[in-house]
Amino acid sequence: MLLYTIYLVAIVAEAMSGAIMGMRRGMDLFGICMIGTVTALGGGTVRDVLLGHYPLGWIAHPEYLLFTIGAAVVTAFVARYLHHLRAVFLLVDGLGLVAFCVIGCDIAMSAKMHPAIVVLAGMITGVFGGLLRDILCNQIPLVLQREVYATVALFTGSLYVGLLYFKVDSSVAQLASIGAGFLFRFLALHFEWRLPNFNGDRIRGFE
Amino acid sequence: MLLYTIYLVAIVAEAMSGAIMGMRRGMDLFGICMIGTVTALGGGTVRDVLLGHYPLGWIAHPEYLLFTIGAAVVTAFVARYLHHLRAVFLLVDGLGLVAFCVIGCDIAMSAKMHPAIVVLAGMITGVFGGLLRDILCNQIPLVLQREVYATVALFTGSLYVGLLYFKVDSSVAQLASIGAGFLFRFLALHFEWRLPNFNGDRIRGFE
Amino acid sequence: MLLYTIYLVAIVAEAMSGAIMGMRRGMDLFGICMIGTVTALGGGTVRDVLLGHYPLGWIAHPEYLLFTIGAAVVTAFVARYLHHLRAVFLLVDGLGLVAFCVIGCDIAMSAKMHPAIVVLAGMITGVFGGLLRDILCNQIPLVLQREVYATVALFTGSLYVGLLYFKVDSSVAQLASIGAGFLFRFLALHFEWRLPNFNGDRIRGFE
């Protein structure tokens, strides 16, 4: 129930962040609604298509679309006043990332997947919404370039699967993973942690 | 039967429009055939994958590929003479949009989907071919930016679902939706209707 | 068994080529692992999703992910020394293309698909990994633009299906198709064969 509430808050926040990026690219109202929805629900959609887990979440629960489209429309009209809320956004986005991740792990586990696939399903749920948003905005996905965003998802999913493996109670494992993952994300943002980059300019001979 | 004929004309027109965009991007003959095919059949493919509706249309009917590949090859050789036909193209494309939309609604209804998902399935069928074409051509999808293209699909699908809800005969509902949707598209093109854009440059604080 | 060995060598080579392209785009370690994995396994994934063939290869065999992620990590650290190996890479990549193609045909045949879809499934397996890599790197897919890469896949798949149609023994058909396809690819690289391009600048009137 708590997870469900966090999920709804998270898809609203993701839809708003997608809508803002769409506005920056000059999209019209349809484009803003669609990119908000893809950002919010794209991760779970990719996960379910890859797992063959039908029906998709938003097809079984079309009311999710009301949340994402509503959030995108509201954002379109109030976005200019939102810059005061940037810190709130980043925190809600971080909460969404870890909640999406735990939900994705749950769905893969209910389909009896290998633990590595369970963690991967969590990561896909967390990061593919933003990745599809960036593809639609014609830019190299941010998640591939900087910040330990995907690493937070890897950590959260691994912790969750590990706790369940050691027979920790399911809701305790959820809360602990979400709490620890969110703390990790907060610290990563605060201290601007990065994964190593590699100086690709020094690679020659491959065109 | 009429719907099937319109469908075949529409996939040929969509394949030609995809092929022309591929040629503008310097694609070779394979690229032109592939982008033509993706433009024509991509919307239905995305819809069926999201609905879990297998087999896909062009897998059950591989002859569709003959139409799209043939149209792309012919376009590659005659494209320089086609600019006289621009108005014809826009009209056939508009007819294709509304026909794809009605077909997409039918498929979602046959799978007993929620009315909102039925309309969305129609919209996805209508607009995702062009959206995938634009992603392959490395540009922000036109449908997200301007013209009331997606709005026409929303209108057509909603009208169709509404007419069926009020027990209108199925073929009457098809014809009425296609006619009204096509008229809407024609008026939108003629009067250059646009959805509202939002000045994204004025949004600060979100990087 | 030989095909399986070739497959593993091929996914390692594809993962390395994806990782190198990711490094050139300034991706971090996660991005490099992900783009390597998508390049290696993306073609088979798209094929299986389109055919509705579940579970996907890397979900049934998560150890494939170890190969692709391992190859990407190693590449990240040794890439600057790899330019001596460019010719080796191109050859292994060509071998991978034809092996992927034969494997893709096999999977579509086991699902009793139409021969045209079988050949197409082989082509998709061969070329979609690189295509997804290019989309993630925000560039027009190379396979749509130049070199007879997709043509090699079309040739290999058609030859394989043709040989099986004439009751040639399955392993003989595999070896002959892989051998002939690889020779084709080698000659295409050596003589820089291209498919015809069309001067898209001369097409006016379609915006």
At residue C202, the pLDDT reads: 54
The mean pLDDT of B173-178, rounded to a whole number, is: 95
Whether residue B39 lies within 8 A of chain C, CB to CB, comes out as: no
Q: Is B197 helix (H, G, I), strand (E, B) or coil?
A: strand
Residue of B nearest to C138 (CA): B138
Residue B207 has pLDDT above 50, yes or no: no
C91 phi, psi to nearest 5 deg:
-70, -45
Question: Is A150's CB within 8 Å of C34's CB?
Answer: yes
More confident residue, C198 or B205: C198
User: Are B125 and B43 a contacting pair, CB within 8 Å?
Assistant: yes
Whether residue C206 lies within 8 A of chain B, CB to CB, comes out as: yes
Q: Which of B136, B158, B198 to mutate to probe the A interface, most A CBs <10 Å?
A: B198
Query: Over the stretch A101-114, which tens digit does the pLDDT of each residue have?
Result: 999 999 999 999 99
Residue A204: CB atoms within 10 Å: 11
How far from the centroid of its chain's Cα atoms is residue C168's Cα?
A: 25
Whether residue C137 lies within 8 A of chain A, CB to CB, comes out as: yes
Question: Cα–Cα distances in Å, from A10 out to A7, A17, A59, A134?
Answer: 5, 11, 18, 18
At residue A93, the pLDDT reads: 84
Mean pLDDT for all residues in chain B: 90
Residue of B nearest to A48 (CA): B50
Nearest-10 crossing angle of helices C149-165, C115-136: 160
DSSP assigned state of A196: P
At residue C162, the pLDDT reads: 97
Q: Is residue C206 part of a domain?
A: no
**Across A139-143, A148-152, C83-87, least confident range:** C83-87
Q: Is residue A204 part of a domain?
A: no
At residue C207, the pLDDT reads: 46
CA distance C166 to chain A (A): 35
More confident residue, A172 or C79: A172
Whether residue C124 lies within 8 A of chain B, CB to CB, comes out as: no
Q: Is A197 helix (H, G, I), strand (E, B) or coil?
A: strand
DSSP assigned state of B102: H
CA distance C113 to chain B (A): 8
Sign of the Cα pseudo-torsion (C114, C118, C121, C123, in order): negative
CB-CB neighbors (< 8 A) of B137 in chain C: 140
At residue B113, the pLDDT reads: 95
HEC-encoded secondary structure of A20-39: HHHHHCCCEHHHHHHHHHHH
CA distance B153 to chain A (A): 11
Question: Is C140's CB within 8 Å of B135's CB?
Answer: no
User: What distance in Å separates the CA atoms of residue B52 and residue B30, rounded to the nearest whole number?
Assistant: 29
Q: Chains with 3 or more CB pairs closer than 8 angstroms to A? A: B, C
* Nearest beta carbon to residue C138 from set A139, A197, A199: A139
Question: Is B205's CB within 8 Å of A80's CB?
Answer: no
The mean pLDDT of A43-60, rounded to a whole number, is: 96
Q: Which of B140, B193, B194 to mutate to probe the A interface, most A CBs <10 Å?
A: B140
Q: Is residue A206 part of a domain?
A: no
User: What distance in Å separates the CA atoms of residue A141 and residue A147, rounded to the nearest whole number?
Assistant: 12
Nearest C-alpha neighbor of C104 from the set C114, C94, C92, C118? C118
Residue A207 confidence class, pLDDT cut points 50, 70, 90? very low
At residue A201, the pLDDT reads: 56
Q: How many domains does chain A have?
A: 1
Residue B10 has pLDDT above 80, yes or no: yes
At residue A189, the pLDDT reads: 87
Identity of the amino acid at C140? I
Q: Is residue C19 part of a domain?
A: yes
CA distance C168 to chain A (A): 35
Mean pLDDT for all residues in chain A: 90
Residue of A nearest to C50 (CA): A49
Q: Is residue B203 part of a domain?
A: no
Nearest C-alpha neighbor of B41 from the set B28, B21, B58? B58
CA distance A170 to chain B (A): 30
CB-CB neighbors (< 8 A) of A30 in chain B: 143-144, 148, 150-151, 154, 195
Whether residue A26 lies within 8 A of chain C, CB to CB, comes out as: no
Tokens describing residue B13? 């027109």
- Those residues with Cβ within 8 angstroms of residue B172's Cβ, 6 or more apart along the chain or in another chain: B163
Residue A199 confidence class, pLDDT cut points 50, 70, 90? low
Residue B81 confidence class, pLDDT cut points 50, 70, 90? confident
- Tokens 């003589």 sit on residue: C191
CB-CB neighbors (< 8 A) of A83 in chain B: 203-206
Nearest C-alpha neighbor of C135 from the set C11, C18, C13? C18
Whether residue C26 lies within 8 A of chain B, CB to CB, comes out as: no
Q: B5 burial class (0-12, 13-18, 19+ CB within 10 angstroms)?
A: exposed
Residue of A nearest to C58 (CA): A117
At residue A41, the pLDDT reads: 97
Whether residue A117 lies within 8 A of chain B, CB to CB, comes out as: no
User: Are B21 and B35 a contacting pair, CB within 8 Å?
Assistant: yes
Whether residue A114 lies within 8 A of chain C, CB to CB, comes out as: yes
Q: Provide block-wise average pLDDT over 10 residues at a time, chain C (207 residues).
A: 87 91 89 95 97 95 96 90 77 89 96 96 95 93 82 95 95 94 92 75 52
Whether residue C81 lies within 8 A of chain A, CB to CB, comes out as: no
Question: Cα–Cα distances in Å, from A185 out to A146, A163, C40, C83?
Answer: 13, 19, 30, 37
Residue A27 has pLDDT above 80, yes or no: yes
Q: Is residue A205 part of a domain?
A: no
Q: Is residue B171 part of a domain?
A: yes
CB-CB neighbors (< 8 A) of C22 in chain A: 144, 200
Q: Chains with 3 or more CB pairs closer than 8 angstroms to B? A: A, C
Question: Is C25's CB within 8 Å of A145's CB?
Answer: yes
CB-CB neighbors (< 8 A) of A138 in chain C: 138
Domain of residue C134 covers: 2-195
The mean pLDDT of A153-162, rounded to a whole number, is: 96
Query: Over the stretch B16-43, which tens digit does the pLDDT of each residue have?
Result: 989 988 988 889 899 999 999 999 999 9
Q: Is residue A85 part of a domain?
A: yes
Residue of B nearest to A28 (CA): B197
